[in-house]
Amino acid sequence: MTRERKYDHWIKEISGNIPLVIAGPCSAETEEQVLKTAIGVKKARGNVLRAGIWKPRTRPGNFEGVGAIGLEWLKNAGKETGLLTATEVANPTHVELALQHDIDILWIGARTTVNPFAVQEIADALQGVDTIVLVKNPVNPDLALWIGALERIEKAGIQKLGAIHRGFSSYKKMKYRNEPLWQIPIDLKTKYPSLPIINDPSHISGKNEMVFDIAQTAIQLKFDGLMIETHINPPKAWSDARQQVTPEQLDEIITRLEIPKDRAFDPALLKSLKLLRDEIDELDRDLIEILAQREAKTKEIAALKFLENISIYQKERWLDILNKTQNFAQEKQIDKNFINQIYRLLHQESLKIQHQVFKEKEQE
């Protein structure tokens, strides 16, 4: 994508200098439900009404959306409240129908983003169209795949482009429905500073009581907006009931959000921040030095293993490392999952280094 292009002007046109709020039901269910939700979103100071018309479900037999009739409900609710409208599209037919019903914002879902063929078909259907298109991250943590989908839409001539961070699937049990992996959207923002990124705390959390905390984190990280699933009666929702909030809860979330300053201006605070950052820089240098020493020891171990024809991977040693580091983390009151991730990366690197040593020894 072109770094210099300014993508964020459309957000300012809609919401001014505050974060954009896109809200509405996971699925359009009835005309009354869509309109009542729209009225609640408007009252809560939302900017855009969202609703799923076609619902890609993990397994067949679940509710998969009302289809094109829901576009008429969405369009009418937008006119009634003055809200812009948004829906997900997964193929060229969806694009054509949404545009025919004057839907203002189209988004490409995570299951579609993962498939370049499907994204290209949507991009072809968008050629010559002046609309806003948002691209959700793929279900797997692959920044290149996310960027590739955005590039395909940009090459179709879409000027009003944005991304949605909805978290990433994981086989592990965790407190989130989808792991946030905040560094990935931050890397996207670093690479394309003017590209708006909207956070979807509903799909990250999977639980409505966690939506505020995730939304606040996103705002602290300077995301440009939020997409929050909102339903007039979440327990009765036909899809994703657990993660939707009521319009009243949406209003509370928006009211409680604290918008951070761009930077500190107080001289004393700036001085304190600099001192602390200098200390962190020194600790980072120490960490790199320790890692270099660790790598050197790993190479020595690999050389001994080669001489004795011992396998590189030692299950008992690896389990012992995991156990010890988890205990150390608990003693120091550091998140054990965080330490676990670090040591899995270190182990992966250790195996790679040892394999390289074996190859070098074989060639001697």
Q: 141-180: per-residue pLDDT in tens?
A: 999 999 999 999 999 999 999 999 999 998 776 789 999 9
Does residue 346 sit in the same domain as residue 216?
Answer: no
- Is position 176 within any domain? yes
Least confident piece of the model among 14-18, 25-29, 283-287, 314-318:
14-18
What CATH number does residue 190 fall under? 3.20.20.70
Q: Do 306 and 173 sit in the same domain of this protein?
A: no
* 65 or 240, greater pLDDT: 240
- Do 202 and 160 lie in a common domain? yes
The structure tokens listed for 43 are 């009252």
User: For residue 68, which amino acid is it?
Assistant: A
Asked whether 144 and 154 are in contact (CB, 8 A), the reply is no
Tell me: the pLDDT tens digits for 119-136? 999 999 999 999 999 999
What pLDDT does 348 receive? 95
Task: Note whether residue 334 is domain-resident.
Answer: yes
Under 8 Å between Cβ of 184 and 143: yes
pLDDT bin (cut points 50, 70, 90) of residue 261 is confident
CB of 104 closer than 8 Å to CB of 132: yes
Query: Could you tell me if 85 and 232 lie in one domain?
Result: yes
Residues 229 and 310 grouped into a single domain: no
Q: For residues 37 and 247, what is the distance between their CA atoms, to the nearest angstrom?
A: 7
CATH number at residue 300: 1.20.59.10
Q: Are residues 89 and 196 in the same domain?
A: yes
> Which string of DSSP letters, residue by residue, matches 292-321?
HHHHHHHHHHHHHHHHHT--S--HHHHHHH
**What pLDDT digit, counting tens, does each position of 320-362 carry?**
999 999 999 999 999 998 999 899 999 999 999 999 999 998 9
Task: For 37-68, give one letter per residue: b (16+ CB within 10 A) or e.
Answer: bbbbbbebebbbbbbbbbbeeeeeeeeebbee
Q: What is the model's pLDDT at position 58?
A: 62
**What gap in Å lies between CA 208 and CA 245, rounded to an integer?**
6
Query: 42 and 97: one domain?
Result: yes
The model's pTM is: 0.82
Which of 236, 256, 276 is the C-terminal boundary of a domain?
Answer: 256
Q: What is the rounded distance in angstroms from the CA atom of residue 210 to the CA atom of residue 28?
A: 23
Identify the pLDDT of residue 17.
Answer: 83
Structural domains of the chain, count: 2
pLDDT above 80: residue 2: no
In angstroms, the CA 172 to CA 91 distance is: 31
What pLDDT sits at residue 218? 96
- Whether 57 shows a pLDDT value over 70: the answer reads no
Residue of 122, 113, 197 whose CA lies nearest to 156: 122
Q: Which domain holds residue 328?
A: 267-363
Q: Are residues 155 and 283 in the same domain?
A: no
> Average per-residue pLDDT in the chain?
93
pLDDT beyond 80 at 6: no
Please choose, from the candidates 149, 187, 183, 150, the residue with its C-alpha nearest in 3D space to the C-alpha of residue 168. Answer: 183
Is residue 221 domain-shared with residue 276, that is, in the same domain? no
Tokens 């705390």 sit on residue: 201
Q: Is the pLDDT assigned to residue 273 strictly greater than 90? A: no
Let me know whether 231 and 356 are in one domain: no
Report pLDDT for 334: 94
Domain boundary among 256, 289, 321: 256
* pLDDT score of 3 more than 90: no
Q: Is residue 2 included in any domain, yes or no? A: no
From 256, 279, 298, the end of a domain falls on 256
At CA 219, angle to CA 235 and CA 144, rounded to 5?
A: 90
